[in-house]
A and B are shown apart, each in its own frame.
Chain A
Amino acid sequence: MKTKALTYDFVLSLPPFVFKVKNNIKFVFENACAMYGEACSEQLAGDEFIDFTLSINDGGGLRKIFKPQARFLCDEKEPFKPLTHSQAYAMLEWGMNWTVAAHEFSYVIIHSAVLEKDGKAILFPAPPGSGKSTLTAFLANNGWRLMSDEMALITPNSKTVTPFVRPICLKNASIPLAKQWFPDSVFSSIAKDTHKGDVIHMAPNKSAMLGKQQTAEIVGVVFPNYDTTKSLEIYQLNMAESYMQLVDNAFNFTAIGEPAFSTITRIIEQVRSFEIFYNDLKDVEAFLSEDVID
């Protein structure tokens, strides 16, 4: 009789994409269920169109016994070197980001968090370590709708941003803070000692999931910098400064070319951009609600 290795395959229906994930690591499946709820299913619901086939596995072989790894594949392509086994779920999340950034050119994709209120979206493009994800988690639980923690999908030649609702990736010191602030939220298991330090994913809340197909118009761009020494400092950026920073954060700028240029130009010409330094998230929220979206 043929024995089949244990698998925990699942499908993630995350508009605008559907991922089929081949997987043989149990906790990856458990985490995916916890993070995505109904959007994670074991079977394809009817005639859905699968955009990408991904795999997460433990690498197999003897190494599995004495030093298990986690491998990520997008179809048969392996874009990253393996990570340690306990980082497998985080690797899937990063792998999905890579997959979209490497293949999708129908949107201008900016490395940025996106939050919405009253149909108005604010982009928060920022490098790791700027406190972007902590700010995102705070806003998403204080009257704003989470559209994305990692990437803004912008329709070319418009200010329309399409949500791509995914968990918020929190790192190091923000992990205990988030757990304390948002006791009702769902968290993934911790991926220890990654290249970003310890990492945990926080599930998108109900309002984010309900609005996962609702686009919004960009009304502002805010570059956040968490700085313990500064209570709110706000600088309005000129167009050139804002342009350069947005282009730096655009994953597919060179691939798309001219439409990406005109899209970013339109944004910086039509909405205000700010760089902010802060040590209190409530101050930031007040500034956004009172000054940016009004």
Chain B
Amino acid sequence: MIELDVEQVIDCYLHPEKITALEPNQLSTLIIVLRQQKMLARVAANLISLNLLPDLHVKAQRHFKNAYLMASKQKLQVWEEAKLLVSQLSSASAYLIFLKGAAYSLADSLASNKVAEGRYYSDIDILVDKRSINECEQVLAIKGWIAQEINNYDDKYYRQWAHEIPPMCHGTRGTIIDIHHNIVPLISGAAPNIQLLINHRVLLGDDIWVLSQPAQFVHSAIHLFRNEEFSSGFRDLTDLHIFMKQNLLENTCEKFVREVIAIASEINFAKEVYLALYFLRSLDKSLFENMDDIDELIDTHGPTSIEKYIFSKVLFPQHALLDGSITPIQQFCALIRGHLLKMPIHILTYHLTVKFGRWIVESVAGKHFFTPTEENQKTN
């Protein structure tokens, strides 16, 4: 017996009132799946804004409230973290721009940004001047940020080929920051002239800068459709959906989409934006009503058949509790596609040899073959 399927989970996101009709066992499955998809707080925010929470099983209410509280707390804290980072890095880098999750929350503090509602994130992403990246790293180290331990292969990967340096974690607060100097890996050959993107920054106050909403959308689409791993795929797609939805409510959808396409074309990522628009349209047709021109553009520049095959699955919730939702072949194709976009084939071959070597040992010898047990660690 199927308790809940992928379609129903998507439906519960788009139409929160449907959650009130679920049986208790479906509801508990929904909550477990949404938590794993990092979507529990987002759906909780929808339920709260529609005042639907009281209609649910009392235990379900508690889980939604817990998740919402956690996300709201993070939103409160991020402004303080941001101010601190700005003051610490102001002399090191010519610019400092907050990206993705943190940027959504920061922007929300000034004007309602629905993407921030119930959006949690594990780290704060910032963009700084590549020329001063070493200086930024040193300044942060002095201020108590500690480079996270990674193996030397991964460190080399970051330094030589990536668009960011290894994440740093604050010694007492535990906040993690990802310091970027571009939005895609340099080795991919696709890294844009970052100045073109920086031109679309906006000031929020207290010297805190984020990208404009259309530029945020573009960055988010690039991130999603050049990725190789989709455990947060649905959450990321709903980020984009909420941007659109907000513009739909304000009757600015067409203008917004045109700006998005213009920015994407300027930095050579129109492909990713059309993919985003295509899959948003298949998620929620209502976004594109009365936009025939845009519809045509999406049809012309949309996905290839292999991209349709991959993304029609990996962008949506995959969980063992949802029957038939896990699609290993599509996941594998997405992994290969994402890697090919990240680096040229000769580098990729080397990279995958190293990664696969470890993976094979782990899958034959056990997932934690390389992981010392706590007890071993103590004696080491």
Contact = CB atoms under 8 A, between A and B. Distances in A.
Interface of A: 44, 47-53, 59-64, 69, 71, 75-77, 80-84, 103-106, 193-195, 254-257
Nearest to A53: B32
A69 to B, nearest CB: 6
Given A105-B69, A106-B62, A60 B366 contact: yes
Interface residues of B, number: 36
Contacts of B70: 105, 255
A211 B332 CA distance: 51
A51 B28 contact: yes
A84 B36 contact: no
Contacts of A195: 374-375, 378
A49 B367 contact: no
A259 to B, nearest CB: 10
Nearest to B368: A82
A49 B3 CA distance: 13
B373 A69 contact: yes
Nearest to B35: A75
Given A105-B66, A256-B69, 18 more contacts: A49-B27, A50-B32, A51-B63, A53-B321, A59-B367, A69-B366, A69-B368, A75-B36, A76-B36, A76-B320, A80-B374, A82-B371, A103-B63, A105-B65, A106-B62, A195-B375, A195-B378, A254-B73
A49 B24 contact: yes
Contacts of B373: 69, 81-84
B365 interface: yes
Closest 8 CB pairs of A and B: A61-B366, A63-B366, A50-B28, A49-B59, A105-B66, A62-B365, A59-B366, A49-B24
Interface string B60-103: 10110110011001000000000000000000000000000000
B363 interface: yes
B364 interface: yes
A11 to B, nearest CB: 12
A15 B197 CA distance: 53
Contacts of B365: 61-63
A264 to B, nearest CB: 17
A81 B374 contact: yes
B367 A61 contact: yes
Contacts of A53: 32, 321
B356 interface: no
Given A61-B364, A193-B375, A50 B63 contact: no
Nearest to A70: B373
Contacts of A59: 366-368
A106 B375 contact: no
B368 A50 contact: no
A49 B371 contact: no
Contacts of B321: 53
Contacts of A83: 373-375
30 contacts: A49-B24, A49-B27, A49-B60, A51-B28, A51-B59, A53-B321, A59-B366, A59-B367, A60-B366, A61-B367, A62-B365, A63-B368, A69-B366, A69-B368, A71-B368, A76-B319, A81-B373, A82-B373, A83-B373, A84-B373, A103-B66, A104-B62, A105-B66, A106-B62, A195-B374, A195-B378, A255-B70, A255-B73, A256-B69, A257-B73
Contacts of B66: 103-106
Contacts of A255: 69-70, 73
Contacts of A47: 23-25
A257 to B, nearest CB: 7
Nearest to B69: A105
Contacts of A61: 362-367, 369
Nearest to B29: A50
A81 B367 contact: no
B316 to A, nearest CB: 16
A259 B366 CA distance: 44
Contacts of B320: 76
A104 B24 CA distance: 19
A256 B60 CA distance: 19
A48 B28 CA distance: 9
B355 interface: no
Contacts of A81: 368, 371-374, 377
A84 B375 contact: yes
A51 B25 CA distance: 10
Contacts of A105: 65-66, 69-70
A178 to B, nearest CB: 24
A285 B70 CA distance: 40
A103 B63 CA distance: 8
A227 B367 CA distance: 44
B156 interface: no
A263 to B, nearest CB: 14
B57 interface: yes
Interface string B342-377: 000000000000000000001111111101111101
Nearest to A59: B366
B185 to A, nearest CB: 27
A271 to B, nearest CB: 27
A136 B239 CA distance: 49
B363 to A, nearest CB: 7
Contacts of A60: 366-367
A64 B363 CA distance: 12
A194 B366 CA distance: 22
B332 to A, nearest CB: 18
B322 to A, nearest CB: 13
A51 to B, nearest CB: 7
Nearest to B66: A105
Contacts of A49: 24-25, 27-28, 57, 59-60
A82 B368 CA distance: 8
Contacts of A84: 373, 375
Contacts of A194: 375
A82 B366 CA distance: 11
Interface string B107-136: 000000000000000000000000000000
Contact of A75 (B32, B65, B69, B374): B32
Interface string B19-59: 00001110110001001100000000000000000000101
A234 B377 CA distance: 40
